[in-house]
A and B are shown apart, each in its own frame.
Chain A
Amino acid sequence: MLEIRDLTTGYGRAQVLWDVTASVADGEIVTLLGPNGAGKTTLVNALSGILRPWSGQVLLNDIDLTATRPHLISQSGIAVVPEGRRIFPDMTVTDNLLIGAYNKRARPHHEGNVERIYEIFPRLSERKRQLAGSMSGGEQQMLAIGRALMAEPSLLLLDEPSLGLAPIIVENIFEVLKQLNQEGLSILLVEQNAVEALNLAGRGYVLEEGRIVGEGSSGELLADERLRKAYLGL
């Protein structure tokens, strides 16, 4: 479903990603591992339209997203939980969720979807009209996840979704992801909690200094001695 070919990008004149090639198949969960500053967030942002790629191709179901105007990317089925949440602080919880449903595909179903998000995260439904910026860190993270789900994506990009969440919520979220995946959602997951992530995913890539340096099934990666040392702390 998602094909990344020779993607390069960066900030200003500083290049961060170098010829990244990767893919996510339909219905797959793929995880992206890598040390701090490797460029994982950069990759996610380049896929979601937050950041423009410099060169290379991103194909979603064979449609070239690099040729698509960024605001139409969500329409083609990609949604993102960005690093640092990036919720809209001056807007209410509900309005933040509605922005998630802005694209034409999801907009007609926004009412039902909001209710669903409120079921997944009851805390959000208690605070519908609170300004998102005044929510606690974890609550904002829930909101960011909820907002992405509002977009009815076929591919969900998650950049450290568990960051700042209580263990009980993390567990809950991984449950939800598993369930959505079973309903057909493809997922690209960046997660520091690598063991957990690999357990959920079928496959993973390892990104270091902006380059893909390894790839394999979860089992293979979990067994890799170097990775265990470097990322899993085992």
Chain B
Amino acid sequence: MSLLECQGVRKSFGGVRALSDVMMSIEEGEIVGLVGPNGSGKSTLINVLSGFFPADSGRVDFVGVDLLGQEAHEIAAHGIARTFQIPRPFATMTARENVAVSYMFGREKHSLAQARVAADEWLDFTGLASIAESNVDQLNLQQLKFLELARALATEPQLILLDEVLAGLNPAEIEGSVEMIRKIHDRGITIVIVEHVMRVVMSLSHRIVVLDQGRVIADGQPDTVMNDEAVISAYLGGKRI
């Protein structure tokens, strides 16, 4: 059975249909690239899967549990973590405290003392060790994005949903980060990655799902999907990969 299975997930905001009938499944151990034009519903889907928005209808099964209608914190306890496209750190805490809180509440509950140790590990992993003591208002966008990542990892998820964590890196830096994501994957974590930088998506994904106007328009091997006419006209434009 798949790790995660979406069926007919719908979500509208007033007149805007952000998701209409999304069907998608994620297998354990996969890295799935989720791409699509701006406003196609990727972040909305992540919000629905992580319990931030209630879906209007549909079904989301995660290891056999129906997630719809569950609170975000319950979903986190099941083992789904996510990052925010626009970073949202805890503003009065240091980087370390940000990660520590997340470790305390993640899939398993930990004490404050344990959390401090674990936080340092994850900061190290994401290359933020040097700014562990910094208040978050001293960090730049990139550091904030990696902090998002560290925080999500600290919940010890089974499935992690990454919303544009690598946007804003230059090509050389991307190499290093791709390595890091692979390392996350090596720890047995299933990954859904949303990214507009095609070299990232192509080099990481085992499978790519393309959303357009809230619908899945393609799903398959990276090469196949990227040469799909619909995908090219909706998303890639003249620039084929």
Contact = CB atoms under 8 A, between A and B. Distances in A.
B106 interface: no
Contact of B169 (A192, A229, A232): A192
B130 to A, nearest CB: 11
Contacts of B42: 136
B173 A36 contact: yes
Contacts of A83: 141
B86 A137 contact: yes
Interface in B201-241: 234-239
Interface stretch (B22-30, B33-41, B56-64, B152-160): B33-41
Nearest to A227: B172
Contacts of B237: 167-168, 171-172
A168 B169 contact: no
Contacts of B163: 137
A134 interface: yes
B66 interface: no
A158 to B, nearest CB: 13
Contacts, number: 103
Given A37-B142, A136-B43, A168 B234 contact: yes
Contacts of B168: 36, 160, 163, 192
Given A230-B172, A233-B172, 11 more contacts: A36-B173, A41-B140, A137-B43, A166-B35, A167-B235, A168-B37, A168-B234, A168-B236, A168-B239, A232-B172, A233-B171
Of all A-B residue pairs in the complex, the 8 with the closest CB atoms, nearest first, are: A138-B38, A233-B171, A168-B237, A136-B39, A192-B170, A137-B85, A233-B172, A166-B37
A231 B164 contact: no
Interface residues of B, number: 37
Contact of A137 (B35, B164, B238, B239): B164
B174 interface: yes
B171 A232 contact: yes
Nearest to B233: A168
A142 B236 CA distance: 17
A134 B16 CA distance: 11
Contacts of A193: 171
A165 interface: yes
Contact of B170 (A36, A84, A164, A171): A36
Interface of B: 13, 16, 35-39, 42-44, 85-86, 138, 140-143, 163-164, 167-175, 196, 198-199, 234-239
Indicate the member of B38, B85, B175 with the most A CB atoms within 10 Å: B38
B39 A231 contact: no
A37 B236 contact: no
Contacts of A202: none
A232 B138 CA distance: 27
A169 interface: yes
Contacts of A135: 39
A142 B39 CA distance: 11
Given A139-B38, A166-B196, A84 B169 contact: no
A216 interface: no
B15 to A, nearest CB: 10
Interface in A155-202: 160, 163-172, 192-195
A167 B170 contact: no
14 contacts: A14-B138, A35-B173, A36-B168, A137-B38, A137-B85, A160-B168, A166-B35, A166-B36, A166-B235, A168-B234, A172-B237, A193-B171, A232-B170, A233-B172
B39 A192 contact: no
A11 interface: yes
A194 B173 CA distance: 12
Contacts of B164: 137, 164
Given A36-B142, A36-B169, A192-B171, A169 B86 contact: no
A123 interface: yes
A84 B37 CA distance: 19
